[in-house]
Structures are given as structure tokens and as C-alpha cells.
Amino acid sequence: MRVLVLEDDAVIGARIAEALTLAGFVADREADGEIGCYRGETEGYDAIVLDLGLPTLDGLTLLKRWRRSGVATPVLILTARGSWQERGEGIDAGADDYLTKPFQIEELVARVRALVRRAAGQAAAVIVAGDLALDTRQMRLSLGGRPIALSPQEYRLVAYLMHHQGRVVTQEELVEHLYHQDFDRDSNSIEVLIGRVRKKLDTQAIETRRGFGYLIAADAA
Amino acid sequence: MRLMALRVRLLAASAISITMALALAGLGISALFATHIEKDLASGLRDEMNRLVALVRIEGETVSLSQPMPDPRYLRPYGELYWQINDPQGAPVLWSRSVWDSTLDIGNPPLVPGQPLETALIDPEGTPALARIQRLQFEAGNGTRVLDLIVAEDRGALDIAIAKFRQDLLSGLGLLGIMLVVASWVQVSVGLRPLAAIRRGVGEINSGRRKTLGGTFPLEVMPLVNEVNALLASQEASIGFARARAADLAHGLKTSLTVLNLQAAQLRQHKQGEIADTIEGLSRSMAETIDHQLALARLRHRSRSKHYAVALGPALDQIVSAVRATPAGRARRWLVNAAGDLTLDLDPADLIELLGVLLDNAAKWAKEQISITAASAGKTIVITIDDDGPGVAEAQVHMLAERGKRLDEVTAGSGLGLAIAEEIVTLNAGTICFSRAPLGGLRARLSLPAGAETLLR
């Protein structure tokens, strides 16, 4: 799950990215509005954390531009002003949630998690696919009640497939959503990762559709 | 009121000046008329004197007229026209029949031969008369005889003519005065019309129907219109500037507070939870103070005389959407029942802030459902916001809107929200009261002034 953090304050940006990474996300940071706008339009993010007070291009204008050009990525806006006028304008411009500064980092992570889940059509914090249950708050996977220990990268893979259960996810999509932009896209790391997870699950929960990609069925395992 | 005073003042000034001018004109014209007809009378007496002088004949001691004076009034007793000849001692020698059984008493004026004298006297009938007296030396045999010749005319007719003229003049001038006052009333009304237009324009600015004074005005009034427009623009700009600066300051402070909060989270990770809690508590309290002060500053910048007609529906939709975007708002069922065309006489930003605070509070406390109704009730709009949360005990209801008062210390919040709501409502001449909702939770009942459009319906 990749999240774009558009925040001009270096300390806040770094702390948000760090917390999101710890929560199992791949976080990209950007401080410049124009560049952030371009990245939001061209890269496949699962959520965007957008500060409204950005230099060069303000957050509200940027958000409207994204929505006009068809970017449907869920956006959490951060606002320092906290007036209902600004919050209302943010929601009208296409934001999915807002958080007023100063916020607690745990709150931000929980909101981002909820946004990503909702965008994938999952309402509950624990996503279930057959015997598999993914607790997005605890970052824990269990199979028939038995906890499965996963590395961060493995967790991201399973989380992405669980969020999009019942849909075939291509290898390119996985690369796009699991790794930073500068990742070598020709490597066979996804195949290696899938192999490792399958071994840990000891089931055929992750199916391979040759020539298409991978799938966790809604009634998997 | 001032416009009336100005009109009254202008009318009073013009009435006073018209009255003074007409009074002076009346006195002048009347004096001219009197002088003119007195001159006529004096000129007639001069002619009569010349005739009398020509007719005087002296034979020895006897003074007579060679023929009677032609005017028949001399022959009628008290005939209003008189002549009399006195010796230098003042004793009458000869007189007209009109003098009858009396004499013309001229007193003892200083007479010089050849120099006529005009004087007023009382005629034989006892009425004032104008007299011309002339002392002359007549040839009489081998010597001369000095005689005083007097002609006099009753001025009763003259005085009646003057009085009649004055009466006619007075009614004429009175009528003219009334016409002039009416004309000046029309003039003042026409003259003040641009001021009335400015007053209407300012009224429309106050009621929020327009931003500046528009339309064409006379050259003399145009500078005032331009100045008012410039003042409005400068006021708008300075309020905008102050708000932007305050918002920038808040933005800067809150960014720093966010950093502080994030550092506190790191402290917690390093097992220094107590310090982290203190820092987070302080930063939350500072942020809430900033929000509260910003809200108050905005409220105080607002013009209290300005009127609005803000549609309730769109504002309600916007805030319900915004609150529904939050985890608490998303989990609740929202029932909104508001007539679509209600408008409020409330600053648009105030309305958004008020609804935001109240709906956010309802979402925070509700278990499942929030119900909002709005309806017109005469000159007010009544908005009710109910939730099915735990509610507030009757005894504590009055504490709800007290600044900084929190009835619950666990759920996040400063207790400033409802105090701000109360301030917004009071500033906008409305009322807010809290009670127990039929759903079981809290009911906030707002009564706010209706906007012009709602009242017109």
C-alpha cells in the first residue's frame, strides 16, 4: 500500500512517513505542491495525505485539479486553521477525510488505514477472506485463528491482495503499490515474495492466474 | 431622522428669508406708494396756491379775489379743500366757504416771503390735512401789504388709499410668500433626492444586497459616493488582511504544535509517556485556544448592522458532508428534514461555524442517529439538532455553553465549541437552548432570525 505524503514541513512530513511505514505502508514524501500534484496524477497511490498549506500550489486547488482529472485516490487533508468553513470546502473539493493540526500520529495512521480499506470496499478493520483474517490495526495475519508471522514486505503483499480480494492483481500493480518509485521493476522480487508467503500460509490461498497475476479469492483457504 | 432635520432646517431657513425679504419689500413698496401720492397731493396744492396768488386783489384795506377759485370743493362747507388768507399776525383776512365756521390754524411757523412752506395741520372738519403756506408782499397803492396765503387739502382720502394699498399689498405678498415656500419645499425635496438615494444604497449594502453604492449621482454628490465606496473597499480589504494575518499566525503556531506533538509521540516510544502526555495536553490546549481566539476575532470583525439572506440548505449539506467524513460522523445515521428554501439573516461564515460545532458535537455523542429539522416560524427559523447519545442531566444543561466547561473529561474536546456556538447565536440576535431530545440524547434548539427571502415568502 503506497501513500503519498504531501507536507511542506520537513519534520512533520518525515514523522508521518515514518509512522505510515511502521504501519505497513510504503510512504513517499513530497513538499512541493506542483511536483506532488504530478505524482498524485501519475503514480498509483492507495491514499494521499495532503497538507492544505503547501508552497507553490495550495492544497485545495491541487485537490480540485486531481478530482477534475479523474484521480479517485482517497485523500486525507491536514488543515491548521480548523474552521468549519475550510473543512467544508475541503470536503466539497473532494477530500475523503480531514484532520486538524496538531494531531496525534496514531489518529492519522488510523484514518489513513480506514480510507484505504473503504476505498477497497472493506468496512471493518479486520478483513476476512475465508480462513484468512487480516487485522489492519495490529498488522497481524491469522489463518484459522493461528497467527502467521510476516515480514513487513510480506505483510504489505498480503494486505494488498486481501484489500482487493476476489480481483486478479497484476505483478506490475503489486510492484507499483508495494515498492517505492525507484524500485527496479524488472526484478523477480514479487515472485520470490509470493513464494515465501505461500510457504508460510501452507495453503493455496494466493492463486496464480498465469499471464494475468495473483488473486486471493473472497472465500479463500 | 437626520435627513428630516436637514429638510426642516432648509425649509425653515428659506421660510425665514422669504418672510424677511417680503416684509422688507412690502415696507419699501408701501413707503414708495405713500411718498408718490403725497407728492401728487403736494403738487396739487402748489397749483392751487398759484391760482390763489393770481386771484388775490388788494384795494386799499380790502383783500378780495378777482374771481372764485374754480374747484367746487371750496364752495362746499368742510369740502376737503380749503384756502385762507391771514395777515402777518395770523388773523384770518379772507377764506373759502369750505372753511365754514372755523379757521385753518397754522400756528406760528417761521415764514419768509417768497419761500413756501408745506406743513401738516388739522382741517376745519377735525381731520389731518396737508397745507401749503406762502408769505407774499402785494403792491397796495403807494405801499406794500404782506399776506400769508394758505391752501390745505384733507388727507383722509390719501390715507384711505394708502391703507387700502397696504392691505392689497399684504395679501399679494402673503400669497407670493406661500408660493415661494412651496417652491422651496419642492426645491429642497429635489435637492435632497440624491441623499435619499445614497441612504437607500447604504441600506442595501447593510442588508447585504449590494457591495457598493452604484448609479448616477449629481456632480456635487459624486465625490461623497466615491468616498463611501473607497471606504467600503478599504474596510473590506483591512478585514481581509487582518483575517489572513490571523489565519497565517494560527497556521504557523499549529504547525509548530504538530511538530511538538510528533516529538511527544517519539518520547512515548522511548518509554517517556508521562512527559509525552503533558506535551500533548499542552499542545492540544494551545491549539484550542488559538481556534477559539480566531473564532472570536472573526466574530468581532463582523459588521453587526449588516443583514444577510443565506440559504440554510446548502450550508447544512456542506457541514453534514464534512462531519460524515469523520469516523464518528460516518458511523451515524443522519436524518435531515429542512424546507429547501429557508434563508437566515446570519453571516455565512458564522452559519457554517455554528452548524459545524453543533453537528460535530452531536456526531461525537450520538449512538446511532442524529436528527436535524428546520422550519420557519414567523420572523425566525427554528433548527433542532437531536442525538440519541447519553444526553445531559437537566441540572447540568445550563452549564453546556459555559466557556471551557466540560461535562465529560474523557471524550476529546475543549468545551469551547458550544461556547463559540452560543456567542455566534447571541451576536446574531438568536437564541440557543439545550434540553433532553425525544431520541434520548441532547437536543439543541436554535432560533435564528430569518433572511429577507424567507420573510418575503
Instruction: Nearest chain B residue to A108 by CA: give it.
Output: B262
Q: State whether B6 and B149 are in the same domain.
A: yes
Other residues' Cβ atoms within 10 Å of the Cβ of residue A177? 22
Q: How many domains does chain B have?
A: 3
Structural domain for B15, as ranges: 2-160
Q: Does residue A112 form part of some domain?
A: yes
**Nearest CB neighbour to B258, from listed A87, A88, A102:** A102
What percentage of chain A exceeds 90 in pLDDT? 40
pLDDT at A189: 83
Inspect the interface and report whether the beta carbons of A83 and B294 lie closer than 8 Å: yes
> Are residues A110 and A157 located together in one domain of the fold?
no
pLDDT number for residue B415: 55
Judge whether A221 lies within some domain.
no
Give mean pLDDT, residues B131-151. 90
Q: Does B258 touch chain A (CB under 8 A)?
A: yes
Last residue of a domain, one of A74, A101, A119: A119
Distance from CA of B362 to the nearest CA of A (A): 15
Q: How many domains does chain A have?
A: 2
Nearest 5°: the CA angle A9, A10, A16 is 90
The pLDDT tens digits for A38-51 are 999 998 899 999 99
Q: Which domain holds residue A115?
A: 2-119
Q: Are residues A37 and A137 in the same domain?
A: no
Chain B residue closest to A75 (CA)? B325
Please name which of A100, A135, A119, A138 lies closest in space to residue A48, comparing C-alpha atoms.
Answer: A119
Q: What is the pLDDT of residue B412?
A: 47
Q: Are residues A55 and A108 in the same domain?
A: yes
- % of chain A at pLDDT higher than 70: 97
Q: Are residues A190 and A206 in the same domain?
A: yes
Residues B263 and B372 in one domain: no
Lowest-pLDDT range of A78-87, A191-200, B296-305: B296-305
Domain stops at, among B284, B301, B318: B301
Same domain, B335 and B439: yes
CB pairs under 8 A between A and B: 100
Strand ranges inside B220-332, DSSP E: 310-311
Same domain, A104 and A171: no
Average pLDDT over residues B245-269: 86
Question: pLDDT by residue (tens digit) across B359-396?
Answer: 999 998 999 999 999 999 888 999 999 999 888 777 67
Which range has the worst mean pLDDT, A109-123, B58-72, B233-247?
A: B233-247
Same domain, A143 and A210: yes
Residue B259 sits at the chain A interface (C-beta within 8 Å): yes
DSSP state at residue B435: E
Res. B220 pLDDT band, cuts 50 70 90: confident
What ipTM does this complex have?
Answer: 0.75
| Domain end residue (candidates: B274, B301, B328) | B301
Neighbours of A149 (CB within 10 A): 9
Task: Calculate Rg over the CA atoms of chain A.
Answer: 18
Q: Is residue B184 part of a domain?
A: no
Report chain A's mean pLDDT, rounded to a whole number: 88
Per-residue pLDDT of B184-207, as tens digits, reads 999 999 988 888 888 888 888 876
Q: Which residue does chain A place closest to B244, by CA atoms? A: A81
Asked whether residue B19 is assigned to any structural domain, the reply reads yes
Question: How far are the Cα atoms of A118, B82, B334, B456 from residue B419, in angstroms, in the given order?
Answer: 35, 107, 24, 32
- Mean pLDDT within A128-149: 89
User: Which pLDDT does position A61 carry in this prediction?
Assistant: 92
Burial class of residue B202 (count of CB atoms within 10 Å of its CB; 0-12, 13-18, 19+) = middle
Higher pLDDT, A185 or A130: A130
Nearest chain A residue to B251, by CA: A80
pLDDT of B410 reads 45
- What confidence score (pLDDT) does residue A220 get? 55
Q: Are residue A106 and residue A142 in the same domain, yes or no?
A: no
Query: Which of A86, A104, A119 represents a domain boundary (last residue)?
Result: A119
Same domain, B280 and B322: no
Q: Domain containing A62 — which CATH number? A: 3.40.50.2300
Confidence band, pLDDT 50/70/90 cuts, at residue B304: low
- What confidence tier does B60 reach under pLDDT thresholds 50, 70, 90? confident
From chain B, the residues in CB contact with A100 under 8 A are: 254, 287
**Does pLDDT of B406 surpass 70?**
no
For B324, the closest chain A residue by CA position comes to A97
**A91 vs B contacts (CB less than 8 Å):** 318, 321-322, 325
- With CB atoms and an 8 Å threshold, state whether B321 touches A91: yes
Nearest to B264 by CA among B254, B248, B275, B249: B275
Q: What is the pLDDT of residue B402?
A: 59
B208 falls in which pLDDT band (50, 70, 90)? Answer: low
**What residues of A are in contact with residue B298 (Cβ under 8 Å)?**
83
- The average confidence (pLDDT) of chain B is 87
Q: Is the pLDDT of residue B301 over 60?
A: no
CB nearest B251 (choices: A80, A96, A103): A80
Is A84 within 8 Å of B319 when comparing Cβ atoms? yes
Domain boundary among A84, A119, A154: A119
Residues B28, B156 share a domain = yes
Q: Kindly state whether residue B182 falls inside one of the protein's structural domains.
A: no
Same domain, B96 and B144: yes
For residue B62, what is the enclosing H or E element? strand B62-65
Q: Is the pTM of this model over 0.80?
A: no
CATH number for the domain spanning B140: value is 3.30.450
Is residue B293 located within the same domain as residue B335?
no
Q: List, as ranges, residues 360-389 from B with C-beta within 8 Å of A.
A: 360
Of B90, B50, B46, B51, nearest to B70 by C-alpha is: B51
Note the pLDDT of residue A30.
93
Residues 6+ apart with CB under 8 A from A104: B261, B265, B280
Distance CA A163, CA B265 (A): 29
- State whether B89 and B104 are in the same domain: yes
CB contact under 8 A, B265 and A105: yes
| Residue B373 and residue B322 in one domain | yes
Among residues B301, B326, B345, which one ends one of the domains? Answer: B301
Question: What are the phi and psi torsion angles at A130 (to 5°)?
Answer: 60, -125
Query: How confident is residue A136, by pLDDT bands cut at 50, 70 and 90?
Result: confident
Query: Do residues B221 and B109 both lie within one domain?
Result: no
